[in-house]
Amino acid sequence: MRILLIDDERELVTTISERLELRNIDNDWAVSGEEGLALLRRNHYDWVVVDLKMPGIGGFEAIKAIKREQPGTRIILLTGHSAPEDLDRALVLGADRYLIKPVDIENLLAVMAPAGQKE
């Protein structure tokens, strides 16, 4: 399983990334939408965890692009909070789940675990 983390909070993504590595989970991280999409073009990811509010390419655009580039990739929206319309919109655009920060890494993995295997 390979995961891509996109969040403008560098400390957050790097820490989650490090913790995933400690658990031997293959992952990459990016601190902007542009960076994330560049990584996505080069590699295949099973899951993308993306923040909603970022400078430059925001969460919605990122979700749309991910679905366009790699339709099979699952997306988790990880956000401090957004209005319900935003959450609904994210789901409509193709996000599979949303989680509100802060999230325990176990919870994150639990979300990915059952559906983690490719259909």
Partner 1 sequence: MSFWSKMKPAFWDRSGTEGEPLNYRRLLKITFWSAVAVSLVPLVLLAGINFYQFEQQYRFQRNEITNQIQRLLATTKVQIAYFLDERRAALHYVNLDNTYQELGERDRLESIFRKLRDSFGGFVDLGLIDQAGIQRVYIGPYNLQGRDYKDQDWYKEVQLRGIYISEVFLGHRNFPHFVIAVRHEKVAEPPYILRATIDTGRLNDLLEATDLQPSGDIFLVNETGVLQTPSRLFGGVLTKFPHFSSSQAARNAIVDAVGPGGAPLLVGLAKVEGSPFNLVVVNQPRTILQKWDVLRVNVIIMILLSVFAIMLVVWRGSTNLVNRIFEADLKRAAMLHEVEYTNKLASIGRLAAGVAHEINNPVAIINEKVGLMKDLLEMGGEFPQREKFLRQAAVIRDSVKRVSDITHRLLGFARHLPVKTEEIHLEELIKDVLEFLGREAEYRGIDIRLDIPADIPTMLADKGQLQQALLNILNNALAAVKDGGLIEIGVSRLDQGGVAVAISDNGRGIPAENLKAIFEPFFSTKGEKGTGLGLSITYGIIQKLGGHIDVQSSPGQGTTFTLHLPVRPGTAVSVGGQGEGSG
- Which parts of this chain interact with partner 1 (CB under 8 A)? 9, 11-12, 15-16, 18-19, 22, 79-85, 100-105
When the beta carbons of 70 and 76 are compared against partner 1, the nearer one is 76
Going by C-alpha positions, the residue among 88, 30, 84 that lies closest to residue 62 is 30
When the beta carbons of 19 and 67 are compared against partner 1, the nearer one is 19
- Buried b / exposed e across 51-75, counting CB within 10 Å, b at 16+? bbebeebbbbebbebbeeebeebbb
**Residue 24 DSSP symbol:** T
When the beta carbons of 4 and 70 are compared against partner 1, the nearer one is 4
CB of 70 to partner 1, least distance (A): 26
